[in-house]
Amino acid sequence: MASYSLFIKPSAAKEIETLPKQDRRKVVSRIEALATNPRPPGCEKLSGQEQYRIRQGKYRILYTIDDKQVVVVVVRVGHRKGVYR
């Protein structure tokens, strides 16, 4: 399986920077793992959108996958309470 390129939108990067340090490390490692497996166990496709989500504790990582260009784009990172709004 080919390794995917990872891109993080600037808005998502700002959201990652606001996370507590310990949670930030876990979220970043989870995002890095998407390069080898963009559809890990536990990921879900969001209904009505071409986005996927994975959970990391109380945070959610929303991303899109482009299989033709072999790219994963992280769109949003946030607390489960408000990330889907």
pLDDT recorded at residue 85: 84
In the chain, what are the domains? Answer: 5-79 (3.30.2310.20)
Evaluated on CA atoms 16, 17, 22, 25, the torsion sign reads: positive
pLDDT recorded at residue 1: 58
CA distance 45 to 63: 10
Residues 33-79 have pLDDT tens digits of 999 999 999 999 998 889 999 999 999 999 999 999 999 999 999 99
Residue 26 in this model has a pLDDT that exceeds 90 = yes
Structure pTM?
0.92
